[in-house]
Structure 1
Amino acid sequence: MPDRRHALTPDALAMMDTIARTGSFAAAARELGKVPSALTYSVRQLEDALDVLLFDRRSRQAKLTAAGEELLQEGRRLLAQMDAVANRVRRVATGWETQLTITADDVLSRRTLLELCEAFYAIRPQGGSEGTGTRLRLRAEVLAGTWDTLLSGQADLAIGVPFDMVLPSGFEMRSLGRVDFVFVMAPHHPLAGRDEPLTDAELLRHRAVAVADSAQRVSPITVNLLPGQDVLTVPTMQMKIDALLRCLGCGFVPEPMVRDHLALGHLVQREVRRARRETTLAYAWRSAAVGQPRQAPRGLALQWWLQQLESPATRQALLSLPSGLPCAESAAHGH
C-alpha cells in the first residue's frame, strides 16, 4: 500500500479539485493535459493509500463519495493555506514582518489608530495588487502596562508610554505629546458646589474613580489618589467617565475625552489645590536584541508606523479623542 503521506501531495489534491469541478475524468484529463487512463490510475493510487473509495464507480459522472467530499473540502483548504504560506514567505523575504503587534495607551484615539490600520492595509508594495502580508495586532494597555508589553516582548511598538520612563539599553523612544488632565464630577456631586480650589482634605471625604494600571510584570503606577480615600476601580477610561456621569465619584480624566460632556454640562470641571496634572506621552520600540548593542534592522511594517508617528498631525490626532468616541475594552489608568 502506498504511503498516505506521500500520496497526499499538492498535485493529488489539485487533481481531485479538477475532477470535481469539471464533473468527469475525461474533462479533467483534457484540462490537465493527461489521458483519462492516467488520471484513473492516479485516483486508484490515492484510494489505495488512504484505503477508501473516493468516487462512486456506479455513476458515469465523477460522483464523490462521502470520503471523497471530505478530502475535496480539506484539500481545497490545504491548497489555499499552502498558497498563502508561499505568498507570505515571499513577502517576508522582502522585509515585511509576518505580524506586528502594537500596544496603545487607553487614552489614545481609537479612531486614529484604525485610520492608520486602514492606510497600512492599503499599501501595495512595488505597485502590486496585494498588500504587505503583515498581520496587525492591536492591544490596549495603560501607563506601566503599555511599557510592560514592550519590555516583555509582547509588543513591537508601544504608543503612549510615559515619557519619563527609564529607557533600558536596546530601546528607542520619541515624544508623542502632552495630555492635559482635568478634575471633573457630575453637576449634582457635592464637590461641584464647593469653593475652588478644592483641598486634599475635601477630596479625601469623597470617593475617587480610578482606572487600574494594567502592568503585570513591572510596578504599576498610581497617581492622584489620596491615602485612605475611598476608590471605585474600573477597567477602562471610558467606564471611568461613565461612572463620573452617574455621580459615582470624582477624578482626573484627559480633557479631550470629556470636552463634549463639559460643554453640554453633563460634567463640571473644578480646580484643585494640587498642581494640575499634565502628562507627556511617548512611543517606543525595541532597536536591538538583548545583549547585542548594534542596532537591529527594522522590518518594513515597523518602519512604516514609525514614519507615520513622525507626523505632528498624526501625533495630535492620537491625543485628541472626542468624548463621543468609544474607547477600547482593556485596561488602564490609576487617575
Structure 2
Amino acid sequence: MNLSFDVLQVLDAIDRTGTFASAAETLRKVPSSLTYLVQKLELDLGVKLFDRTGRRATLTRVGRVVVEEGRRLLEAAEDLEFKAKRIQHGWESDLHIVIDEIIPFEFLWEHVDTFYQLKLDTRLHLSKEVLGGSWDALLTRRADLIVGAAGDPPAIPKLVTKPIGSLQHVFVVAPHHPLASTPEPLTLDIVARHRAVAIGDTSRKPRKLAPRTIAIAANQEILTVPTLEAKLAAQIKGLAAGTIPECLAVEALARGELVKKEVIGMQDITHFYLAWRDDETGGPLRWWVEQLDRPDLIDEVARQRILHG
C-alpha cells in the first residue's frame, strides 16, 4: 500500500500551512524529507498532488480528494487509538443498564442527557426487568448495572449493592370483588382461595436464580401480566387480587376503584438496590453509580408516580 498515515499527515500539514517549509516546521521534520515523501507518492500513484508553480503549494483536484479522504482516515485512526486507551484504562465501550419495572424511563432521561454531554463515546443500552430478572441479568452479565433490583440480594460473585429505598405495598381489590366485603383482617389462607395477579419474573431460562414473586401463596391461581400498569388495571377490573405499590394505587383508591384490605402476615415492604459487579468497574459505570447512589431514590420515584399518576 502506497498510502500511509505518515504520508497523509504530511499532505494535511502542507495543505494547512501552504508551504513544504512551514509543514516541515510543524511536523518537526526537514523540508527535503517531505518533498521526497510527496514526490515518491506521486510517482507511485501516477498522479500529481500539488501544483508548485506559485509561491504556495496548491492541491490539484486529485490532491484535494486524497487530502480530504485522508483526514477522515486520520480522524478515524485517532478515535480508534483513543478508544483503545480508554478501554485499557477502564472506560467501557458499551454499558448495559437494567432498571426495575417500578422506575419509569422518564426518571433517567436527564442523567442520559448529561452522560452524553461528557462525550465518552460509550454506547448506552437501557432495558427493563422484573423481580428476579434484574438480579439474573447481573449474574449472567446481561447487565453492568441494575437500578431498583427488588428483594434481598442473592449470592453473586463480586456483587456490590447500595440500598436506594423501599416501597410500601397495599393489598387491594375492586369494590365488587368477593374479598372487598370479607371482614378484616384477612388471613393468607382466605386470600389464597382467590386468583392473584402478578408481574412475570423476567429471569431467563435456564434459570440460575429462583424466580421471585411478591405475596403469592403456593398453589394459588395466578394471572400473570407484564407490567405494573397491567397489574393495576386487572385489579381495578376485579379480575384478581394482590398487592401493589401504594404510590400506584393512590388515585384508584381515591376514586373508589379499589378497596384496601388488611392481610395478616403479608409482606408489605419491598427494599430496592443499586447493584453491580466490582470485577469490571470502568469510568462510565462509576459515573452512573455516583448519580444514582441515593438512599431516597425510590422515594423520589414514588413521589413522581403519585404526581404524574
Q: Which residue pairs with 1:185 in the alignment?
A: 173
* Cα distance, 1:256 vs structure 2: 1.5
Q: Relative to 1, partners in 2 of residues 1:156 and 1:283: Cα closer, same or farther, differing over 3 Å?
A: same
Q: Equivalent residues in 2 for 1:116-155 (5 A)? A: 116-123=111-118, 131-155=119-143
8 A Cα contact 2:97 2:146, kept in partner: yes
Q: Following superposition of structure 1 onto structure 2, how do residues 219-230 of structure 1 map, counting pairs within 5 Å?
A: 219-230=210-221
Alpha-carbon distance in 1 for matches of 2:194, 2:182: 13
Give the aligned partner of residue 275 of structure 1: 266
Structure 1 residues 95 and 252: alpha-carbon distance in aligned structure 2, compared to 1, 3 A threshold = same
Segments of 5+ residues of structure 1 without an aligned counterpart are 1-5, 12-27, 43-71, 124-130, 289-295, 327-335
* Deviation at residue 144 of structure 1 after TM alignment: 1.5
Q: Give the share of equivalent positions with the same residue, in percent.
A: 34
Cα distance in 2 for partners of 1:79, 1:260 equals 59
Q: 1:21 maps to what in 2?
A: none
Cα RMSD of the aligned pairs, angstroms, is 3.7
Q: Is the Cα contact below 8 Å between 1:113 and 1:318 reproduced in 2?
A: no
Q: CA deviation at 1:241?
A: 1.2
SS of aligned partner of 1:262: helix
1:52 paired residue number: none
Q: Are the counterparts in 2 of residues 91 and 133 from structure 1 also a CA contact under 8 Å?
A: no
Give, as a single letter, the amino acid of the residue that structure 1 aligns with 2:109. L
Which stretch shows the higher mean deviation, 144-153 or 190-199? Answer: 190-199
Given that 2:164 and 2:297 are in contact with CA atoms closer than 8 Å, whether structure 1 keeps it comes out as no
**In the alignment, residue 230 of structure 2 is paired with which amino acid?**
M
2:186 and 2:308 map into 1 onto residues whose CA distance is: 30
Contact map agreement 1:99 1:136 (CA 8 A) in 2: yes
Aligned counterparts of 1:258 and 1:319: Cα–Cα separation in 2 = 11
Q: Which runs of 4+ in 1 moved over 4 A?
A: 6-11, 38-42, 77-95, 323-326
Which residue pairs with 2:287 in the alignment? 304
Q: Does 1:264 align with 2:252?
A: no
Tell me: CA distance 1:166–1:265, structure 2 relative to 1, closer, same or farther (3 Å): same
Contact 1:109 1:317 in 2 (8 A): no
Q: Whose Rg is larger?
A: 2
User: Distance between the aligned counterparts of 1:80 and 1:188, measured in 2?
Assistant: 68
The within-5 A match list for 1:87-126 is 88-89=83-84, 92=87, 95-123=90-118
Contact 1:259 1:322 in 2 (8 A): no
Letter in 1 for 2:97: I
Q: What TM-score do you get using the length of structure 1 for normalisation?
A: 0.65
Normalising by structure 2, we get a TM-score of 0.70
Alignment of 1:1-335 (within 5 A): 33-36=58-61, 85=80, 88-89=83-84, 92=87, 95-123=90-118, 131-216=119-204, 217=207, 218-288=209-279, 298-320=281-303, 322=305
User: In structure 1, what residue type is equivalent to 2:285?
Assistant: L
The answer to whether the 8 A contact 1:109-1:321 is kept is no
Q: State the one-letter code of the partner of 1:212.
A: G
Aligned residues: 260
Distance in 1, Cα, partners of 2:300 & 2:114? 15
Gaps of 5+ in 2: 9-48, 52-56
Bigger shift: residues 306-315 or 254-263: 306-315
Using a 3 Å threshold, how does the CA distance of structure 1 residues 40 and 312 change in structure 2: closer, same or farther?
closer
